[in-house]
């Protein structure tokens, strides 16, 4: 109501007047007694039924325990034939812990094969159901969806599912897409983060950050309410996460570490909703004068069944599996045109999970858009059905326990090119160590793929891999795209017509209040450490929706005190308390200093099956000068990637 305006005369809301309670009458006492008799009878019957149900449940539980006990011994005997124990070192399943390990070993080893088998036979098993829906659609309009008859393959069934879902508001991938520079996207939608990012990048800026605007943040839902200055300009979520962006990608390992960065950048305010899809494009001119580009696509950021603002969601996954072009693919092509990719330039397309599927689609349609994709690198992506040009050299990295690459029911082709015109498709399988908990979420995990990529780069397992990376006289190696002299730009893509971001998952089943209190306390504590500028602690989903990594991003003034005065095991001890409240895969601590923005230090800590803690330390340097100055300080042994193990009680 506008000030000074008289309220309209409206009828009062319904209500009951007060009254005095009177004693119960004789009829009331009779009704009460009858009710008690009926209630007692019903309670007795329900109690007897519950006893029967409990007895049946006890018998079923006993039967399940007996089957699990027998299966545990069978699986243990079968695994004794393995040349190498994986994923776990098994002991005789005499005790509960050993039996649990054996059963989880069988589950993780069997599930990918079951997924692959199901995908292969789904085209036959579900055809009658799809045809029945087509027949029913003659009468029920809500069941009408293409294709009507050609439903004899898995992609066709997925297209049928998409059509049925769209009649109910699901899987609306759209068509038009808006692509802008990521910094421009921040300046428009998140001006506070853009303001801080400008100060962080300016080495000549004042020592203390001062917002440009007086109010800095003025929520629209407060209308014309007069607000004062922002009370804590460095306490806004997303400042540290926005600043930690690498400027170069120097190899396969950093390529997949970069994957986690662009996935998290799609949520600038860290509210666990996807505001945009971030596409990273890196250019470099080689010694031969040829301009080369790395185009990296994001993975799935939202698992909500209704499509939202960001085009990298579960809708894009299903559309890509149905072999239809996604909105994200069109966004990538638009971003490449904005970046200035020319027909004569060479392009390396890369991505993890959904990003790999979109990279495969880019490889298919590159000629149509006058791009020259010469190399394709995917990690954990089902692209075996893609019709990729044989002239494109492909490297697929797959973990043997990862179910996602098997979802299309077809193995990747094996092309071993040893001539200039021969096709080449190399698939590298690996089995990374799994953290404590044995959850299937741990098998589809981008930091784990980054570690695998680093080992492939350092020690190629095969001559074909070495040829793919380093090249031959008749072909370029993929490593030609990496190296000094790179220019990196990020682009934000959003669906046109979708004005609201979707949550990362449709339903939250964990205690968000407890996590919020714990996370807030840790964040406040780290900000009190001398030299700390900004801190962000947030959940990073790096694969499946349940693949949670707790990220702690810390911006400091100088890195040296953190490796001389601050004991990082103390920081780990606080962050690991989040793992007890949330069954996460691990924690990741990232450090970057304003005095040395070209150096990014990060460590991932996970608890292994035997109780030990595993720390993977990785350091990225933007320039050779930064590496020469800080490598002796950060990693005295001279490695840019190192793995350490700690005893189970190291952080207690």
28 in a structural domain: no
Residue 542, CB-side half-sphere exposure with 13 Å CA sphere: 28
pLDDT in the model for residue 63:
97
pLDDT surpasses 70 at 8: no
The reply to whether 525 and 597 lie within a common domain is: yes
Say if 652 falls within a structural domain.
no
Q: Which residue has the tokens 């909703």?
A: 273
Q: Does residue 492 sit in the same domain as residue 517?
A: no
Q: 453 and 387 in one domain?
A: yes
- In a domain, residue 172? The reply is no
Domain hosting 92: range is 36-125
pLDDT of residue 426: 94
Mean pLDDT of the 41-58 span: 96
Identify the band that residue 517 occupies on the pLDDT scale cut at 50, 70 and 90: low
Q: Is residue 503 one of the residues assigned to a domain?
A: no
Last residue of a domain, one of 90, 125, 160: 125
3-state SS class at 640: coil
Rounded average pLDDT over 59-86? 92
Output the pLDDT for position 511: 44
In a domain, 6, yes or no: no
Res 421 pLDDT > 80 = no
pLDDT at 513 over 70: no
Q: Given a cut of 90, is residue 416 above it in pLDDT? A: no
CA distance 267 to 553: 14
* % of the chain residues with pLDDT over 70: 92
Number of independent structural domains in the chain: 3
pLDDT at 582: 54
Domain identity same for 101 and 246: no
User: Average pLDDT for residues 578-596, to the nearest whole number?
Assistant: 79
- One domain for residues 40 and 66: yes
- Same-domain check for residues 592 and 456: no
Residue 352 confidence (pLDDT) above 90: yes
21 within some domain: no
Do residues 173 and 326 make contact, with C-beta atoms less than 8 angstroms apart? yes
- Could you give the CA distance from residue 551 to residue 446 in angstroms, rounded to a whole number? 14
Nearby residues of 419 by Cβ (< 8 Å), 6 or more positions away? 474
Q: Which of 437, 471, 497 is the C-terminal boundary of a domain?
A: 497
| Per-residue confidence band for 300, with pLDDT thresholds at 50, 70 and 90 | very high
- 221 located within any domain: no
Query: Can you give the pLDDT at residue 123?
Result: 78
- Whether 101 shows a pLDDT value over 70: the answer reads yes
Looking at the structure, tell me whether residues 194 and 282 fall in a common domain.
yes
List the helix and strand counts (H, then E) for the chain.
Answer: 17, 16
Same domain (yes/no): 265, 338:
yes
Q: Is 570 inside a domain boundary?
A: yes
Average pLDDT rounded to a whole number, residues 400-413:
90
User: Is the separation of the CB atoms in 335 and 281 below 8 Å?
Assistant: yes
Higher pLDDT, 280 or 462: 280
For position 634, what pLDDT does the model report? 81
* pLDDT for the residue numbered 586: 84
Residue 220 has pLDDT above 80, yes or no: no
Average pLDDT over residues 588-613: 89
3-state secondary structure of 128: helix
Q: What mean pLDDT comes out for the span 531-557? A: 86
pLDDT score, position 485: 87
Q: Which of 497, 532, 552 is the last residue of a domain?
A: 497
CATH number for position 531: 3.10.310
Residues 326 and 249 placed together within one structural domain of the fold: yes
Residues 518 and 435 in one domain: no
Residue 577 and residue 483 share a domain: no
Verify that 305 and 370 share a domain, yes or no: yes
């Amino acid at each position: 109501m506008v000030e000074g305006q008289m309220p309209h005369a409206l009828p009062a809301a319904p209500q009951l007047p007060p009254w005095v309670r009177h004693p119960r009458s004789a009829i009331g006492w009779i009704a009460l007694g009858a009710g008690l008799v009926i209630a007692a009878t019903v309670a007795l019957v329900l109690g007897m039924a519950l006893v029967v149900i409990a007895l049946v449940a006890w018998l079923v539980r006993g039967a399940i325990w007996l089957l699990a006990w027998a299966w545990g011994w069978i699986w243990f005997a079968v695994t004794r034939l393995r040349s190498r124990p994986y994923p776990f070192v098994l002991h005789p399943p005499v005790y509960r812990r050993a039996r649990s390990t054996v059963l989880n070993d069988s589950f993780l080893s069997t599930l990918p094969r079951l997924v692959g088998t199901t995908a292969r036979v789904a085209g036959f098993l579900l055809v009658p159901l799809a045809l029945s829906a087509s027949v029913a659609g003659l009468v029920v309009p809500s069941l009408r969806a293409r294709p009507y008859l050609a439903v004899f393959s898995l992609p066709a069934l997925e297209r049928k599912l998409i059509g049925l879902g769209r009649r109910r508001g699901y899987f609306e991938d759209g068509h038009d897409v808006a692509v802008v520079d990521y910094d421009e996207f921040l300046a428009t939608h998140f001006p506070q983060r853009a303001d801080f990012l400008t100060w962080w990048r300016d080495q000549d800026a004042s020592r203390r950050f001062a917002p440009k605007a007086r109010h800095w943040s003025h929520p629209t839902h407060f209308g014309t309410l007069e607000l004062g200055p922002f009370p804590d300009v460095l306490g806004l979520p997303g400042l540290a996460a926005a600043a930690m962006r690498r400027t170069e990608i120097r190899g396969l390992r950093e390529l997949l570490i970069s994957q986690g960065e662009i996935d998290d950048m799609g949520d600038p305010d860290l509210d666990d909703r996807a505001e945009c899809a971030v596409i990273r494009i890196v250019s470099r001119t080689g010694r031969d004068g040829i301009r080369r580009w790395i185009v990296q696509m994001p993975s799935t950021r939202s698992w909500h069944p209704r499509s939202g603002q960001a085009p990298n969601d579960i809708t894009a996954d299903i559309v890509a599996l149905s072999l239809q072009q996604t909105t994200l693919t069109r966004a990538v092509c638009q971003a490449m045109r904005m970046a200035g990719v020319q027909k004569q330039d060479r392009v390396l397309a890369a991505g993890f999970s959904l990003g790999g599927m979109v990279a495969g689609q880019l490889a298919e349609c590159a000629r149509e858009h006058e791009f020259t994709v010469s190399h394709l690198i995917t990690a954990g992506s089902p692209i075996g059905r893609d019709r990729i040009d044989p002239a494109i050299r492909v490297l697929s990295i797959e973990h043997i326990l990862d179910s996602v690459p098997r979802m299309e029911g077809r193995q990747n082709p094996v092309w071993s090119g040893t001539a200039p015109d021969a096709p080449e498709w190399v698939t590298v399988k690996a089995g990374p160590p799994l953290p404590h908990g044995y959850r299937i979420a741990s098998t589809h995990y981008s930091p784990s793929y980054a570690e695998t990529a680093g080992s492939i780069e350092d020690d190629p397992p095969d001559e074909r891999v070495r040829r793919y990376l380093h090249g031959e006289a008749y072909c370029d190696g993929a490593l030609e795209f990496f190296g000094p002299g790179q220019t990196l730009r990020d682009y934000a893509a959003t669906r046109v017509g979708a004005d609201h971001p979707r949550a990362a998952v449709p339903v939250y089943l964990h205690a968000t209040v407890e996590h919020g209190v714990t996370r807030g306390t840790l964040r406040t504590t780290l900000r009190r450490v001398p030299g700390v500028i900004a801190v962000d602690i947030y959940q990073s989903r790096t694969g499946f929706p349940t693949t949670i990594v707790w990220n702690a991003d810390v911006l400091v003034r100088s890195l040296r005190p953190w490796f001389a005065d601050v004991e990082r095991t103390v920081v780990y001890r606080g962050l690991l308390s989040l793992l007890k409240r949330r069954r996460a895969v691990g924690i990741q601590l990232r450090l970057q200093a304003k005095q040395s923005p070209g150096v990014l230090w990060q460590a991932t800590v996970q608890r292994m099956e035997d109780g030990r803690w595993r720390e993977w330390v990785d350091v990225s340097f933007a320039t050779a000068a930064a590496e020469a100055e800080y490598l002796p300080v950060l990693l005295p042994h001279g490695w840019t990637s190192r793995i350490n193990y700690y005893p189970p009680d190291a952080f207690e």
